[in-house]
Structure 1
Amino acid sequence: MKETYEEKINRRLKVKQRIIEVAAGREKADLVIKNATYLNVFSNEFLQGDIAVANGLIAGIGEYEGEKEIDVNGKIVLPGFIDAHIHLESAMVTPSEFAKAVISHGTTTVITDPHEIANVMGLNGIDYMIESTQNLPVDVYFMLPSCVPATAFDESGAGLGYKDIDSYFEHKKVLGLAEMMNYVGVINGDGDVVSKIIASQAHHKKIDGHAPELSGNDLNAYIAAGVYSDHECSTFENALEKLRKGQFIMIREGTAAHNLSALMPLLTKQYSDRCMFATDDKHPSDLLNGGHIDYIVKQALKNGADPIVTLKAATHNAARYFLLNNKGAIAPGYLADIVVADNFADFNVEMVFKRGKLIFDGEVKEFDAPSVDETLVEKCHNTFNLDEVTPNSFKVDGKLGLIGLVGGELLTRNLGFADKTDVENDILKIACVERHKNTNHIGVGYVKGYSLKSGAVATSVAHDSHNIITIGCSDTDIAVAVNAIRKAKGGIAVVENGEVKALLELPVAGLMSEEKLETVNEKLEKAKAEAYRLGADKSIDPFMTLSFLSLPVIPSLRITTKGVFDVEKCELLKDEMSV
C-alpha cells in the first residue's frame, strides 16, 4: 500500500528527531570520523574535529562517539567531488561500470547530459539512462538534451523539441537544460531553439552553455537569452569575458579537451567562486589510469593553485550552481558524502563515504546494478539501420573541403580543398555514413593532421548524431571498417589491407559496452595501438579526436552525412568548382 502523506511526515519526523539527538550528543552516531582535518568551504580554512554521521547526514562536528569510529588523524577530509558536466556514454560502458570507476577517485555526484544516446534513440535513450542510474553509489543528475539533433544539418536517430522534453523537467533527477550547442540559433532568435530555454526557465531550471570562442555582442545575446554557464573556454581571455558577463565557467579537463592549463588564472580568489570542474568526456583508460575530478585537482595543485580554491571548485561551487543544497560541504545537515585523501603533494584518495556508508577503502564495495526495462534494453541493442557499403560508396570526383586538425583541441582549421588522398602529404579521406534510417547518405571530404600511413579507422561514436565516421588511406579499407561496425551494431574498428586488426564492440546504442571497464579498456587500447602502428599522430587520441570531427557546432570545419560543413558560415562547404 502506498504511504500516505501523514505517514511520510511521521517517518521523516522520527529520522529528524534522531539526527537532532545525535547532533546534540545525547545519542551515539552511526559513524564518527575521528580527528578529521576537514575543509570548511564557508570560512575557507581547514579545521579539526570529529564528524558525526546519522541516517546518511552529517549531524555535527566536534567531539562525538559512534557505533562505528574511523580515525583519520593526519589525513585530509573533503566533501565528495562533483563533475559539473559529463556525458556518461563517453566512458563506453554502462553507468554501473562508470560508477565503479569514479568512486575510487572520490566522485560522489555527476551531472550528465544524455544527448549522445538521445541523438540515437530520442526519449527512449533518456529513459534508459535514467533507469540505469537509479540507486547507484554515485548520485547521477540530468540536464535534458537541448540539441537533438545538434543542428538542422545533422541526421540523427531522433529529433526532440521543447514539447518532447517538457514533462521531464519535473523529474527529481533533472536539473535543467543541457549545453545549448546551437549558439547560432540562439543569437539569431530561432523559435525552436529559444523555446527550449524558455521551457527550462518556466520550470525554474538551469541552462548550460556551449559556445566556443563566442564574444562581443553575439555573446551578450547568448547570455541574455538565458544561458548561465559555459564549458568550452580554451583561452583565459574568452573565459574571463564570459565570467565578467555573468556566466559560470566549467573548467574542462577530459580526454579530448584539455583546458585546465589555459584557465589556471581563474583559480584565484578573485574569480574562482564562479568556477567548477568538468570532464565532459572521459575514455576508459583515463578513468582507470589517470582519474576523474581528483585528477584535475591534482594537476591544479601541481601548477600552484591554492588548495582551498581548487577544492571548492571540485565540490562546493558546482553544488551551489545546481542548487544541490545539501551537497558540497562538510557541515551539519549536509549529506555525508565524504572523501579522505592522504596529502596535497600526492593527493591519493584513500576512503570514500556515500551518505555515511564506506564505499571505497582501497577497493570499491560491491553494489547491485539497477534493473532496466527489458523493452528499453532491446531497443538499445537495435539502433543500426543501413546497408553494407562498398569501396564505390566512397568514390568522389572534384575538390572537397580539407579539414585541418589542431593538436590538443577540438577546434579545426579550414585548409581549403583537396581532390585526392595523398598519404605522403598527410591528406586522407574522411567520411560520415548515416546509420539510423537507411538513407544511404554518405558525406565525404579530406582531412590533414591524422597521419595514417595505411589502412583505415572507423567509429560509431561520432558526436552528436552518432553516425559512422571513418578516416582512411583507401576506399577498400574504409568500406571494411564501416561494415565491421555495422555487423557489431556499433563500435570502433581498425583495418589494414582488408583485414580487421582491432574491434571494440559497442552494442548499446552504438555507444556503450556491457562488458567490464577493464575489458573495454583492453580492447580500446589495442585499437589505439593498431591505429598508432598504422601511423596515427601520437599527439592525439585517435578515436576521441575522430568522434568530434562530425560535430557541426565547433569551428571551423566538420564532416556530416551530407558533406563538409563550415561551422562559421553555418552551411555545407561548396566544392571549389561551384565557388
Structure 2
Amino acid sequence: MERTVATLKERIRAGSAKIPAEKVIRGGMLVNVMSSEIYPADIAVYKDMIAAVGDVEPYIGPDTEVIDATGKYLVPGLIDGHIHSECSKLSITSYAKAVVPHGTTSMISGLDEYISVSNLEGLQEIFAEIKQSPLKVFWGAPYKTPYTVPQSTVSFNFNKDVHEMVQKWPECYGVWETVTEFVQEEDEDTLGAIAEAYKNNLPVFGCAPMARGTKLNGYLCSGVRLDHESYDHEEVVEKMRKGMHMLIRESCVTHFLAENIRAVTEVNPAFARRVSFCTDDVTATDILSKGHLDHVVRLAIQAGVDPMTAIQMATINSAEAYRIDHLVGSICPGRIADILFVDNLEEFTVAKVMTNGQMVAENHHISYELKAPARSPIFKGQLKCKMTTKEDFEYKVPIQNGKAKVLSMDVKGPFVRKRRDVELKVVNGVIQPDTQQDAIMVSVLERFGKNGNKSLAFCSGWKLKNGAMASTCAPDDNNLVVMGSSAEDMSIAVNHLIEQGGGQVVVENGKVIEFLPLPVGGIVSDEEPEVIAELEKKIDEAARRIGSDLPNPMMYMFFLPITAIPDYALTDVGPVDYCALTTYDPVLELVEE
C-alpha cells in the first residue's frame, strides 16, 4: 500500500482491530529478531501489512482466512544485501521463481547490468516487472556506469547529472556499490552522486576490497556506510571497528563466509549485530542444488553462529544497514508481511513462503503462475557488432618470425588476475597462442554500436587445449567477451552470438558445440530456472571438453572486464593495469629471428 493520508488511516484502523484481518497465521513459534526471542505468537495480516503479532483474536472477522502454522517457526523474509541478479542469467521474474521459494523475499541491487545494456527507459521496464514479482528489489542508483577505469563503453552512462534526477525517484534507496578507486581518485561523477545523496539523506553503499589503513580512512570520510567485499576476517574487523556495517559474501564462485565469519566467532561476538549476508553473483544451478540465503544461514550455523544470530544476519541486520527496517526485516506491526514457515531452525528448511501478505511458495516452488512481461525492443535488440573474421583475433606485431615476451593475465580465483610473463612464438607477423604453456588469446568487443572497439590480450589459467568460448553476459559493461586457442574458433563464437542476439557459446574445431541463449538484453533469459540450470551444466561441460578445469569457466571468463579488483582486467578499450589505473601493452619484448 502506498503511504497516503487515506491509506494511512486504513493501516491504522487495521492495526487497531477496527478492520478485520484478511489472514491470520495461528499456532506457530515467532522468531523475534528484534528481541532475540522465540515464543508462541499468532500474526494478523491486512493486505500486504502485518497488523498485529501475539493475541490476534480481536482481528478475526467472518471472512478472515486462518492459516495453520502448527509445528513451524515463523521467520522474517530473508534479505540479500548485495546482488547482481543478472549474473544468474535469469530475468527478474525467473530469478524470483528460483530464490523466493528458498526464503529470499527482498534484495538490494543497482540493476546496473540492465542499465548498461539499456537506459532509464529500460530501467523503468524492470521496475514495472518488479512490481508484478513476489521478490522486492530495493534499488540503489549506481554511483556511475560504467564502473571501469579507464572508462569502457556501455549503452548508457550513469553520471552525477542523472543522480540529481533519479535519487528523487520513489524506487531509490541509496547509492549503489561505490568503488574505492573512484573515491580515492576523486572522480567527479562519483563525488557528485555522494554529494547528492547527502542532500537527499540517502545512504551510500560501498565496495572496498582489500581497503585498509589510510586508504580505508579516506574512503570512509566520503560517507560510505557499508561494504560487501572483504577478503579475510582481519579486514572485516578493521572495517567494523571503524564504523562500517559489513556484509559477508557467499557467492557461487567466492566462498568468503567461512573466513569472514571468524570476525564474529573468534574475535568479537558483538560484531554479529552489524553483520549481514549477500550472495553478489549466483547461478541457477547453485540455487536449485544448494538454496540461496537459506544456504548461507545454514553455513553460518555450521560455522558456530547460533540460529537466532544467523537469522538476524539474514534479516534485520541487513534491513538496518540499508535503512529499510521500517519496511522489512522483522515480523512486527506495520512491516510488510514477508513471512517464512520454517521446519527446523538448525537445518533452516523453508517449507512455505508468504510475501506481501500472499502465500506464494511451498516445497521450494512458486505456488502460482508467474509470467514474465512482454519484452519491448529495448531488451530485444540485436548486438550492434560487425561480423568478424579470424584476422580480428590474431595479435599482429612488426616482426615476421621470432619470439614475443608477453604479459598474460593469470587467473587466481574468479576476480584476481596476476602477472605471468610468457615467451611465445611469432609466425608470419602473428603471436601464436600456446596451449602447452597455457597462454591463449582473449578479446572484448564493444557491442552497442558506439565505437566498434575491440581489444586483444593474453590470459592463462583456463587451460583451454583448443576451441573458444564467448559471452555477452559480462559485467561490468556487458560487452562481448571471447577467449580461445584458435582465432578461427574465436571468430565463429563471436559471430554466433551476434547472429543469435546474445548468450554464451562454446566452439570446438570450427563448430558450435553448446549455446545458452540470453535474449533479454543479451544478458538474461525468461526461461524457467530449471531450464537455465540444465543449459549451464551443458555449457560448463563443453568448456571442460575443450580443456578448462576451473569450477565455473564461463563465469570466471565473464568477470574479466571488472577492473575494480587487482591486478589485471580487460575491457573494450584494452588490457587494464589495476594498480596504475590505465591500459597497458601486453607485448613486453620482441626478438626477431
The answer to whether the superposition gives a TM-score over 0.5 is: yes
Q: State the Cα distance separating 1:132 from its structure 2 match.
A: 1.9
Alpha-carbon separation, structure 1, partners of 2:151 and 2:510: 32
Residue aligning to 1:381? 380
Partner SS state of residue 194, structure 2: helix
CA distance in 1, matches of 2:52, 2:145: 45
Alpha-carbon distance in structure 2 between the residues aligned to 1:379 and 1:171: 21
* 1:92 matched residue in structure 2: 89
> Aligned residue for 1:162?
160
Q: CA deviation at 1:395?
A: 1.0
Distance 1:173 1:438, change over 3 A: closer
- 2:230 aligned with 1:233: yes
Does structure 2 retain, via aligned residues, the 8 Å contact 1:418–1:446?
Answer: no
Alignment partner for residue 244 of structure 2, among 243, 247, 271?
Answer: 247
1:568 aligns with 2:579: yes
1:162-186 Cα distance to aligned partner (Å, 9 max, x none) = 11232211222210111012x2231
TM-superposition CA deviations, 1:335-381 (whole Å, max 9, x none):
22111111134321101111332111224122554756x6xx20212
Residue of structure 2 in register with 1:41 after alignment: 33
Q: Do structure 1's residue 18 and structure 2's residue 11 form an aligned pair?
A: no
Instruction: Report if aligned partners of 1:169, 1:200 keep a CA contact under 8 Å in 2.
Output: yes
Residue in 2 aligned with 1:115? 112
**Counterpart of 2:401?**
none
Q: What are the superposed Cα offsets for residues 501-548 of structure 1, whole Å, 9 maximum, x if unpaired?
A: 01111122110123222222222221111111222114x211111111
1:509 aligns with 2:506: no
Aligned to 1:72: 69
Shifted more, 424-433 versus 478-487: the winner is 424-433
What code does the residue aligned with 1:146 have? Y
Q: How much does 1:460 deviate?
A: 0.8
Q: Aligned residue for 2:418?
A: 413
Aligned with residue 402 of structure 1, among 392, 399, 408: 408
Secondary structure, in 3 states, of the residue corresponding to 2:144? coil
Aligned residue in 2 for 1:474? 486
Deviation at 1:383, TM superposition (A): 5.0
The residue number in structure 1 matching 2:427 is none
Change (3 A) 1:343 1:368: closer
How far apart, in 1, do the equivalents of 2:121 and 2:53 lie?
45
Deviation at 1:296, TM superposition (A): 0.5
* Greater shift in the superposed pair: 522-531 or 77-86: 522-531
Q: How many aligned positions are there?
A: 564
Matched, 1:428 2:428: no
How far has the Cα of 1:256 moved from its partner?
A: 2.5
Provide the C-alpha distance between the structure 1 equivalents of 2:360 and 2:183, rounded to a whole number of angstroms. Answer: 43
- Give me the whole-angstrom Cα distance separating, in 2, the residues matched to 1:480 and 1:297: 43
User: 1:378 and 1:36, CA in 2 relative to 1: closer, same or farther beyond 3 A?
Assistant: same
Residue identity opposite 2:273 in structure 1: D
CA contact (8 A) 2:106 2:137 kept: yes
After superposition, residues 52-71 of structure 1 pair within 5 angstroms as 52-65=44-57, 66=60, 67-71=64-68
Q: Is the 8 A contact 1:134 1:370 kept in 2?
A: no
> C-alpha distance in 1, partners of 2:373/2:552?
34
Unaligned runs of 5+ residues in structure 1 are none
Aligned with 2:308: secondary structure? Answer: helix
- What's the CA shift for 1:28? 5.5
Which letter maps to 1:288? L
TM-score by length of structure 2 reads 0.90
Instruction: Answer yes or no: is the 8 Å Cα contact 2:72–2:342 preserved in 1.
Output: yes
Residue in structure 1 matched with residue 210 of structure 2 by the alignment: 213
Tell me if structure 1 keeps the 8 A contact 2:119–2:156: yes
Identical aligned pairs, as a percentage? Answer: 29
The question of whether the paired residues in 2 share the 8 Å contact of 1:95 and 1:132 is answered with yes
TM-aligned CA distance change 1:454 to 1:352, over 3 Å:
same
Deviations 1:85-128 (A, max 9, x none): 11121221221111111110011111111111222223233223
TM-superposed CA distance for 1:418, in Å, is 4.8
The aligned counterpart of 1:138 is: 135
User: Which whole-Å CA distance do the structure 2 matches of 1:129 and 1:567 have between them?
Assistant: 32
State the distance in 2 between where 1:294 and 1:335 align.
20
| Equivalent residue, structure 2, for 1:338 | 339
Is the counterpart of residue 366 in structure 1 residue 395 in structure 2? Answer: no
Q: Secondary structure at the match of 2:191?
A: helix
500-509 or 43-52: which moved more? 43-52
| Residue number in structure 1 paired with 2:567 | 556
Deviation at 1:412, TM superposition (A): 1.7
The residue type equivalent to 1:163 in the other structure is: D
Query: Conserved in 2, the CA contact under 8 Å of 1:464 and 1:551?
Result: yes
What amino acid does structure 2 have at the position aligned with 1:279? T
The range that moved more, 519-528 or 28-37, is 28-37
Question: For the residues of structure 2 that align with 1:418 and 1:236, how far apart are their CA atoms?
Answer: 38
Paired amino acid for 2:113: E
1:277 aligns to what?
A: 277
Aligned to 1:170, the other structure's residue is in SS state: coil
Separation in 1 of the partners of 2:377 and 2:533? Answer: 24
TM-score normalised per structure 1: 0.92
Residues 266, 275 of structure 1: 8 Å contact kept? no
Correspondent of 1:528 among 540, 545, 551: 540
Q: Within 2, Cα distance between the matches of 1:107 and 1:13?
A: 30
Q: Helix, strand or coil: the match of 1:446?
A: strand
CA-to-aligned-CA distance 1:113-171 (integer Å, 9 cap, x gap): 11112222232332232222123212112111223111333122222211123221122
Question: Aligned partners of 1:302, 1:238: CA distance in 2, in Å?
Answer: 22
Structure 2 CA distance for aligned equivalents of residues 509 and 200 of structure 1: 29
Deviations, residues 265-285 of structure 1 (Å, cap 9, x unaligned): 234531122211111112111
Partner of 2:175: 177
Secondary structure of the structure 1 residue equivalent to 2:505: strand
How far 1:203 sits from its partner (Å)? 1.2
1:491 equivalent in structure 2: 503
Conservation of the 8 A alpha-carbon contact between 1:255 and 1:544? no
Q: Which has the larger displacement, 486-495 or 91-100?
A: 91-100
CA distance in 1, matches of 2:272, 2:176: 22
Q: Deviations over 1:167-211 (max 9, x none)?
A: 211222210111012x22311322232111111221111111112
What CA RMSD, in Å, does the superposition of the two structures yield over aligned residues?
A: 2.2
In 2: Cα distance, 1:478 partner to 1:231 partner: 35
Distance across 1 between alignment mates of 2:318 and 2:480: 34
CA deviations on 1:63-104 (whole Å, 9 max, x unpaired) are: 334433233333222100011111121221221111111110
Structure 1 stretch displaced more, 495-504 or 266-275: 266-275
Residues of 2 paired with 1:218 and 1:339: CA distance? 41
Contact 2:473 2:524 (8 Å CA) reproduced: no
Distance 2:25 2:263 in 1: 33
Deviation at 1:417, TM superposition (A): 4.8
Q: Which runs of 5+ in 2 are unaligned?
A: 398-403, 425-431
Q: Is the 8 A contact 1:119 1:157 kept in 2?
A: yes
**Aligned partners of 2:188, 2:295: CA distance in 1, in Å?**
41
Does the 8 A contact of 2:493 with 2:512 survive in 1?
Answer: yes
**How far apart are 1:264 and its partner, in Å?**
1.4
CA contact (8 A) 1:150 1:464 kept: yes
Deviating more after overlay: 558-567 vs 103-112: 558-567
